[in-house]
Amino acid sequence: MTLPRIGNNAPAFTLQNQDGQKISLKDFRDDKHVVLYFYPKAMTPGCTTQACGIRDSQKAFAKAGAVVLGVSPDAPARLAKFRERDNLNFDLLADEDHAIAEKYGVWGLKKFMGKEYMGINRITFIIGKDGKLKHIMEKVRTKTHHDDVLEILSSL
């Protein structure tokens, strides 16, 4: 698992959101910072905690000039259920073949309850308005993720 380098252009992507619309990184170029966070699976406890913190901080993200995009290997239909169930107010992107997770270096070996499997590692990328990687959060705490990201955005 090799992460892209800070200062380089963020890997480009176009993915479907929960409504089946195509969302591309270039859509936000020169307009907004992009908080691209990868999470393992929609509607699981840690992922829900993380998403709800972002939901509740949406005004602060907007004030910081940032858009938040969550990426998981879930299908758009599952993402739609997640968004509706938890009243999420940002786009969730479907990376079903984990091609974008691989580009960002977050697809890798995981261990849970004595089993090993391939999956998404919970990592967040902060991408500047210029399309360059500004910060990579490799240690994400689901309960404080939103505050941690906002603190980083305030220093950009």
Alpha carbon dihedral 76, 128, 53, 137, in 10-degree steps, equals 100
CA 8/CA 96 separation, integer angstroms: 25
Q: Is 48 exposed, middle or buried (0-12, 13-18, 19+ CB in 10 A)?
A: middle
Cα 12 to chain centroid distance, Å, stands at: 14
Whether the Cβ atoms of residue 104 and residue 38 lie closer than 8 Å to each other:
yes
Q: Which of 25, 34, 47, 92 is catalytic?
A: 47
Q: Which residues contact 142 (CB under 8 A, 6 or more apart)?
A: 46, 47, 49, 50, 53, 122
- Per the annotation, the verdict on 47 as an active-site residue is yes
Residues with a catalytic annotation lie at 47
